């Protein structure tokens, strides 16, 4: 197994201070991980520094959809939808175990505010098919009975009929981890809990990024010919590290999700449900829970932990209750999480109207990549490294990631003897996780009633750079929003991590839902 642990982190920190890299990437979300993979697969020497954990920013707080974005058609964003659908196809091919097709239902209601939702949906879905959506099958009309067979939580009496189409779903945090591991497999030096605190623009062709090791407290000077700022909603702050006069480019928008027990909102497909303000929210089946989200509001507060307020939770429950057979109550909510979209500033007042397109620019030798979507990360990374090649490192070849299989890529169906749960999370590594469970007596479930095994925690510490309990609870697994009794899960995870060599003492109780 390729080790990626606290022990290898120490080696990486030494390498960061010693070597001169071609590219240093700041930020270990999906964008930074994608840039590291794109650059490493073009043969460049790559370093990546992430101030917390891989995926700990926005990249673990999305709706977990790999999609073209039906709703962007309403905004006329044809190019974005086509590009996203191309990337959806690539992701399905490059990580078939992790990115899975999912049926989506758009209900057409007989009356009330919900009635507007399905109106015109047939035309929009026809266009979606034409732009590449049909690669997973053409959209089709469903009877009310067929729609409630897929989404039993819908109120059948209120339904006229429905439309169905296909998109895909992914564990966003594990996708980020998988892309980062793919980069590490091609020689990239990845250090988490390592924060960039100052940038000296290139002098004599080499820039220096000053970093602080958040665990050991030491300072490291990382030298590289090019710097890529992939710090998501923090990218304005990172831009300012190199250029005190830098203008603010971002308009962060907050998005809140809730999870509810599957029994409270039963579904086997995703669904789009109308919200009171004319938007719609997604309902997505996820393990033993159903995900409901998202809100989309301008955000001017602190970036580090946006949190959700009761009004936002009520908005999501209200959207479901306008269409559900059984109304949801606040007590049905199992978990809550909030994320910030790194949207590029535009003229629109509503953040939901701002483009999901990305922007790449270069100033003072620092290439900044902002905006975009989880789905389009590969294309964003390609564009960022192309600009690096154009402005700073001439002669670098073209991107090689279009058909590049991601770490652990395996067919969608598990081989005999491998449980589906492990296969979908670990792909080709799943048999090794099973072997670890057998060899070290770690085959017990972490939490009664959920499929996560104790071995997954130990595997995460040894091969996935999980350091603190929150890394495991929130990102290597999604327990933080899948169980009510987080304290018991956190205690078990902390005990398993503490038994690993060089373990870091966990600060406070981890695993709180956001």
Residues that bind ligand FAD (CB under 6 A): 26-32, 49-52, 56-59, 61-65, 195-196, 230-234, 238, 255, 294, 339-342, 372-375
At its nearest, how many Å lie between ligand FAD and the CB of residue 211? 7
**In angstroms, what CA-CA distances link 477 with 258, 287, 437, 453?**
17, 11, 16, 10
CB nearer ligand FAD, residue 186 or residue 373: 373
Which residues are paired to 161 by β-bridges? 108, 143
At its nearest, how many Å lie between ligand FAD and the CB of residue 499? 27
Query: Which 3-state string (H, E, C) describes 386-420?
Result: HHHHHHCCCCCCCCCCCCCCCCCCCCCCCCCCCCH
At its nearest, how many Å lie between ligand FAD and the CB of residue 495? 27
Helix (H) or strand (E) holding 436: helix 430-439
At its nearest, how many Å lie between ligand FAD and the CB of residue 434? 30
**Burial tier of 433 (Cβ tally within 10 Å: 0-12, 13-18, 19+):** buried
CB nearer ligand FAD, residue 56 or residue 148: 56
**In angstroms, what CA-CA distances link 393 with 225, 226, 387, 390?**
8, 8, 9, 7
Who's near 77: CB < 8 A, 6+ residues apart?
69, 355, 356, 357
Cis peptide bond N-terminal to 294, omega within 30? yes
At its nearest, how many Å lie between ligand FAD and the CB of residue 67? 6
Joined together, the tokens standing for residue 130 give 């034409």
CB nearer ligand FAD, residue 91 or residue 392: 91
Contact 240, 380 (CB under 8 A): no
Joined together, the tokens standing for residue 366 give 């620092």
At its nearest, how many Å lie between ligand FAD and the CB of residue 272? 13
Joined together, the tokens standing for residue 350 give 């509503």
CB nearer ligand FAD, residue 74 or residue 110: 74
Length of the chain: 514
Joined together, the tokens standing for residue 47 give 């370093």
Contact 165, 108 (CB under 8 A): no
At its nearest, how many Å lie between ligand FAD and the CB of residue 293? 6
CB nearer ligand FAD, residue 118 or residue 293: 293
CB nearer ligand FAD, residue 148 or residue 267: 267
Joined together, the tokens standing for residue 413 give 């169906």
Count the neighbouring beta carbons within 10 Å of the beta carbon of residue 280.
19
At its nearest, how many Å lie between ligand FAD and the CB of residue 230? 6
At its nearest, how many Å lie between ligand FAD and the CB of residue 196? 4
Which residues are paired to 509 by β-bridges? none
* Residue 111: alpha-carbon gap to chain centroid: 36
Distance CA(415)–CA(51), nearest Å, equals 37
At its nearest, how many Å lie between ligand FAD and the CB of residue 112? 26
Who's near 137: CB < 8 A, 6+ residues apart?
165, 166
CB nearer ligand FAD, residue 4 or residue 158: 4
CB nearer ligand FAD, residue 63 or residue 178: 63
At its nearest, how many Å lie between ligand FAD and the CB of residue 438? 34
At its nearest, how many Å lie between ligand FAD and the CB of residue 413? 24
CB nearer ligand FAD, residue 202 or residue 255: 255
Contact 71, 117 (CB under 8 A): no
CB nearer ligand FAD, residue 71 or residue 161: 71
CB nearer ligand FAD, residue 42 or residue 341: 341
> Hey, is 163 helix, strand or coil?
strand
CB nearer ligand FAD, residue 158 or residue 388: 388
Who's near 30: CB < 8 A, 6+ residues apart?
55, 59, 172, 175, 176, 179, 374, 377
């Amino acid at each position: 197994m390729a080790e990626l642990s606290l022990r290898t982190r120490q080696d990486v920190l030494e390498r960061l201070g010693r070597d001169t890299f071609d590219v240093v990437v700041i930020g270990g979300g999906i964008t930074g991980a994608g840039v590291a993979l794109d650059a490493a697969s073009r043969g460049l020497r790559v370093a990546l520094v992430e101030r917390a954990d891989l995926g700990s920013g926005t990249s673990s707080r999305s709706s977990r959809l790999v999609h073209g974005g039906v709703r962007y058609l309403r905004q006329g964003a044809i190019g974005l939808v086509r590009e996203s659908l191309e990337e959806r196809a690539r992701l399905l091919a490059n990580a078939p175990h992790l990115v899975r097709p999912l049926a989506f239902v758009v209900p057409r209601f007989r009356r009330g505010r919900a009635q507007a939702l399905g109106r015109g949906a047939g035309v929009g879905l026809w266009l979606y098919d034409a732009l590449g959506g049909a690669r997973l099958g053409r959209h089709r009309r469903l009877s009310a009975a067929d729609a409630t067979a897929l989404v039993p939580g819908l109120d059948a009496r209120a339904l006229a009929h429905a439309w169905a189409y296909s998109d895909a779903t992914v564990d966003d945090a594990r996708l980020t981890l998988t892309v980062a591991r793919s980069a590490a497999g091609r020689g990239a030096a990845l250090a988490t809990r390592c924060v960039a605190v100052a940038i000296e623009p290139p002098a004599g062709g080499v820039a220096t990024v000053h970093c602080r090791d958040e665990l050991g407290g030491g300072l490291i000077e990382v030298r590289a010919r090019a710097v890529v700022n992939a710090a998501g909603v923090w990218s304005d702050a990172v831009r300012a590290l190199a250029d005190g006069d830098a203008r603010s480019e971002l308009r962060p928008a907050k998005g809140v999700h809730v999870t509810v027990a599957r029994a409270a909102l039963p579904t086997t497909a995703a669904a789009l449900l109308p919200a009171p303000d004319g938007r719609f929210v997604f309902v997505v089946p996820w393990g033993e829970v159903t995900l409901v989200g998202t809100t989309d509001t301008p955000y001017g507060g602190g970036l580090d932990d946006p949190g959700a307020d009761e009004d936002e939770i009520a908005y999501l429950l209200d959207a479901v209750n306008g269409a559900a057979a059984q109304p949801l109550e606040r007590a049905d909510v199992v978990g809550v999480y909030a994320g910030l979209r790194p949207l590029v500033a535009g003229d629109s007042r509503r953040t939901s109207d701002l483009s999901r397109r990305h922007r790449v620019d270069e100033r003072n030798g620092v290439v900044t990549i902002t905006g975009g979507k989880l789905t389009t990360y590969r294309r964003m990374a390609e564009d960022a490294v192309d600009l690096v090649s154009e402005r700073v490192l001439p002669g670098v070849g073209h991107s090689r990631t279009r058909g590049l299989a991601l770490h652990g890529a395996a067919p969608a169906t598990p081989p005999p003897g491998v449980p589906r749960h492990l296969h979908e999370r670990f792909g080709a590594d799943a048999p090794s996780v099973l072997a670890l469970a057998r060899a070290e007596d770690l085959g017990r479930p972490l939490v009664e009633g959920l499929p996560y095994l104790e071995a997954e925690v130990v595997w995460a510490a040894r091969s996935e750079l999980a350091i603190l309990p929150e890394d495991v609870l929130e990102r290597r697994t999604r327990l933080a929003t899948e169980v009510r009794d987080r304290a018991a899960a956190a205690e078990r995870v902390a005990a398993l991590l503490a038994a690993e060599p060089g373990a870091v003492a966990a600060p406070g109780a981890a695993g709180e839902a956001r």
